[in-house]
Amino acid sequence: MSDHIHWLIEQGITSEHIGDLVAGLCERLIAEGFPIWRASITMPSLHPMYRGVAANFVRGGVTTIENSEHGGIEERNFEKTPTFHLLSRGERKGRWNLADGEGLEYPRLKEFALAGGTDHVISIFEFPKEVALRGFSLSLTSDVPGGFSDDQLMTVTTLIPVLGLACYRMAASKTAADILAVYTGAKTSARILAGEAQRGKGGSINAAILLADLRNFTGLTEVYQPGEIAGFLDAHFELIGRHVEENSGEILKFMGDSVLAIFPIGSGEGDDPEKACRAALASARNMLKANEVLNRERTGKGGPDIGVDVVLHLGEVFYGNIGARGRLDFTVIGRAVNEASRIEKLCGELGQPLLMSESFAAACGVACEGLGSFELRGFSRKADVFKLADPIVASARKSAAIASDLA
C-alpha cells in the first residue's frame, strides 16, 4: 500500500498527463491481482472549448484521452451516466453488479456488460469548492466472476485521497497553461510560463505584422443587440484566428473589432523574412476568402455584410510585457505597429481590402503594385503603400523577367 501511495505522490509531482496516471496505477494494481479490465479518470475542465476530459484505460490496450466539448454529445448524454446518478443523489460511491443485470439502464454499462463486464465501481473525490475544477471520478470495471473483492475495494478507497491530490496538481497545472494560451496565444504563454512575467521583460524581434479590422463595424452597434454583435465578432475572429494559426502566426490581442497578429522571423543567420511574409500573406488571402463565404451565408439569412481590411507590414518590434505592475499585457509595440495601424486607415480610402507596406512588399517574393505615397498621422515621412499585382500584370512581369534572364 505504501508503495502505491509513494508512487502516486511522485506521479503527482512529476507527471503532466492523467493518462499516464491511470495507466500506471492500473498496471500496478493488476500486478497484485486486481481484476481490472477497464478504468477511467474523469475530470471537469476550465476551457472555452471543453467541459471535461477523461483518460480511459483498457487492459492490454492503449490508454486514450477523450475531451468532452461544451454542448457536444457527451454533455447532452451526461444525465444518462452513473456518475450523474451519484452526483444528483449526493453520493460519492457506487457499485453495479453487471453480471446480475445491474446498471444496464446506463448505455456505457450496458456496453460493458455485453462485452463481458461483471462488476463496475465508481469513486468521486471533490476538490476545494472555491475552484472551478470540482473534482474527479475513478471508475473501475472487472471482467472476472465475482468482480472486485472487499479488500481490493478498501485498497482503492485508501488510495483515492492521494490520487485526488495528484489529479488536482495536474489539473491545476494544465488549467493554468490552457487558460494562459487561450488568452495570450500558445507561443506567448510558453514564454510567460518559462519565466518572462516581469514588466519590461522582453526584447526586440523582427516580424511580419498582420492587422485586421472589421469594416464599418461601429455602425452595426446602432442596429443590432449586444448579443448579436458579440456573435458577429466571434464568427469573424474565429476565421481570422484559424488562418493565422494555420500559417504559424500568433494573435497577440483583440482590440475592439481589430486583430493584431505577428509572424516572427527570429534571430538566426538563416532566418528568412520572405518565409514569414509569405505566411502572413497566405493568412491574409485565406481569411479574406473565408470572410466572403461567411458573409454570403449571413446575408442569405438577412444578416449584415461585414468586410475585413487587412494590412501587412514588416519591421522591428518590442515583444514583451507592458503595463502596470499588477496588470500586464504581453504584446508588441513600436514604430512598425503604429505604421500598420495608420496604413489600415487607407484601406477604405483606396478601396482595397489588403494593403502592404514597402518593406513587406519588397520581402514577400510576390508581385506587388504601388498605389502611391501617403502621409501617415504622427509620421514625418510619407509611406509607400502597395497591393497585390493583378494576375495579368504579375504574369507579364514574370514573362519579362524570364526573357531578361535568357537574353
Domains 2-183 and 197-406 share a fold: no
Domain ranges of the chain: 2-183, 197-406
Question: Is pLDDT above 70 for 376?
Answer: yes
Q: Name which CATH class applies to 2-183.
A: alpha beta
pLDDT of residue 173: 82
Give the Cα separation of 152 and 259 in Å (integer): 56
Q: pLDDT tens across 355-369, in order?
A: 999 999 999 999 999
233 or 127: which leads in pLDDT = 233
Q: pLDDT tens across 87-120, in order?
A: 888 889 999 999 999 999 999 999 999 999 999 9
In this structure, CATH architecture of domain 197-406: 2-Layer Sandwich (3.30)
- Report the chain's C-alpha Rg in angstroms: 28
Q: pLDDT tens across 326-352, in order?
A: 888 888 889 999 999 999 999 999 999
Average pLDDT, the chain: 87
Lookup: cell for 95: 457499485
Whole-number percent of the chain with pLDDT over 90: 57
Give the Cα separation of 185 and 199 in Å (integer): 18
Q: pLDDT tens across 21-77, in order?
A: 999 999 999 999 999 999 999 887 766 667 778 899 999 999 998 887 766 665 567
Question: Is pLDDT above 90 for 260?
Answer: yes
Among 169-178, 192-201, 203-212, the range with the most confident prediction by mean pLDDT is: 203-212
DSSP lists the bridge partners of residue 323 as 328
Which helix (DSSP H) or strand (DSSP E) does residue 230 occupy?
A: helix 226-246
Give just the sign of the alpha carbon dihedral 342, 346, 348, 351. negative
Q: What pTM was computed for the model?
A: 0.72
